[in-house]
Amino acid sequence: MAEKITAYRFDCLEQTLSQLNKEDCAIIAGGTDVMVLHKSRRGVPPKILKSVVFIDHLSELKQVNQNQKDLHIGACCTYSELLEHALIPVALKNAIKSIAAPAIRNRGTLGGNICNASPAGDTLPLLYVYNAKLRLRSVNGERIVAINDFIQGPRRVQRDPNEIVTEIILPSVLEEDAHVVFEKVGNRNADAIAKVGFAGYIRINDARIEDVRFAFGAVGPTMVRSLNIEKKLVGKTLPLADSDIAEIVADFDKIIRPIDDQRSTAVYRKIVALNLLRYFLSLKQYQTK
């Protein structure tokens, strides 16, 4: 027989934070990761050892706002809601369309994808290249933390038990002039966990690279990004010389260290990740802008 647990569903964020300050609870947003993580056998309800607190309905966590060029996305916006929203960048919508099937997209949230901190989380490569920041709130106040500092390893994040991630901030994302792509390689175009994920971001002025960023998913314990490698390309003129592309690919070859698992092999992942990088660096689409 299923064991009873205490579940809270408060009307507002303040009450929720107050409860989290009194009791260490399992936070449930859409529940699409939590329920899988705690499942036991078919027909048996998931076993969660703490009280649970639901946050998916809290209106404070479901807003999408523009603040000058920055985009603020409520942590509990579902994927389906974000797909419908005019302010969400096309690259992020493309990543969302590759996630699961519509039923999961109706429940799953952006905040949940971040806090679950899976190396294969599909929104993460993009959030890294957008230099995303997270706003966390507790009864003690709020703090803002960069996504790469927040995610510390598979399912490990820098969150105190009394904190909730309230929003994701994408700085300057509403500037028009960056070219951003997301690529996912899986068994199918959607409804499959990534074997490799890739996001590339490039801003060009008069054929010179002003800013460039890359992040790889599912090829290490967290997203692979290197500011030092990116810096090597800033100021270079497009199209890039073959030797420049080869150097960047060789640099990433050294730091991408995938593993074998049930979804793919380390060898395949490495080859695909480097091919995606090569493809991005030689993309004609943005070189003619």
Ligand X SMILES: Cc1cc2nc3c(=O)[nH]c(=O)nc-3n(C[C@H](O)[C@H](O)[C@H](O)COP(=O)(O)OP(=O)(O)OC[C@H]3O[C@@H](n4cnc5c(N)ncnc54)[C@H](O)[C@@H]3O)c2cc1C
Distance from the Cα of residue 95 to its chain's centroid: 9
**Which residues touch 136 (CB under 8 Å, ≥6 apart)?**
142, 143, 144, 145, 159, 163, 164, 165, 166
What is the rounded distance in angstroms from the CA atom of residue 137 to the CA atom of residue 159?
10
220 closest CA partner among 199, 200, 196: 196
Q: Which amino acid is residue 121, in one-letter code? A: G
* Nearest distance in Å: CB 180, ligand X: 18
Using alpha carbons only, how large is the chain's radius of gyration in Å? 20
Two structure tokens written together for 246: 């080869």
Residue 258, interface with ligand X (CB under 6 A)?
no
Residue 116, interface with ligand X (CB under 6 A)?
yes
What is the rounded distance in angstroms from the CA atom of residue 41 to the CA atom of residue 96?
29
Site stretch for ligand X (CB under 6 A), options 96-104, 218-226, 229-237, 242-250: 96-104
* Nearest distance in Å: CB 208, ligand X: 35
What is the rounded distance in angstroms from the CA atom of residue 77 to the CA atom of residue 93?
13
* Nearest distance in Å: CB 286, ligand X: 26
Q: Answer positive or negative: Cα dihedral of 140, 60, 51, 39.
A: negative
Q: Binding string to ligand X for residues 63 to 82, with x set by CB under 6 A, is what?
A: ------------x-------
What is the rounded distance in angstroms from the CA atom of residue 118 to the CA atom of residue 218?
8
What is the rounded distance in angstroms from the CA atom of residue 192 to the CA atom of residue 35?
18
Site stretch for ligand X (CB under 6 A), options 13-21, 103-111, 219-227, 234-242: 103-111
Q: Binding string to ligand X for residues 2 to 41, with x set by CB under 6 A, is what?
A: ------------------------xxxxxxxxx-x-----
Binding ligand X by CB under 6 A: which of 73, 92, 112, 173? Answer: 112
Residue 91, interface with ligand X (CB under 6 A)?
no
Two structure tokens written together for 236: 């270079």
Q: Are 111 and 76 in contact (CB under 8 A)?
A: yes
**Among residue numbers 158 through 217, which ones bind ligand X (CB under 6 A)?**
159, 164-165, 193
* Nearest distance in Å: CB 249, ligand X: 26
Site stretch for ligand X (CB under 6 A), options 8-16, 81-89, 112-120, 256-264: 112-120
Distance from the Cα of residue 196 to its chain's centroid: 14
* Nearest distance in Å: CB 5, ligand X: 14
Residue 71 or 100: the one with the smaller Cβ distance to ligand X is 100
* Nearest distance in Å: CB 44, ligand X: 17
Q: Binding string to ligand X for residues 139 to 158, with x set by CB under 6 A, is what?
A: --------------------
> Residues interacting with ligand X, by CB under 6 A?
26-34, 36, 55, 75, 99-100, 104, 107-109, 111-113, 115-116, 121-122, 159, 164-165, 193
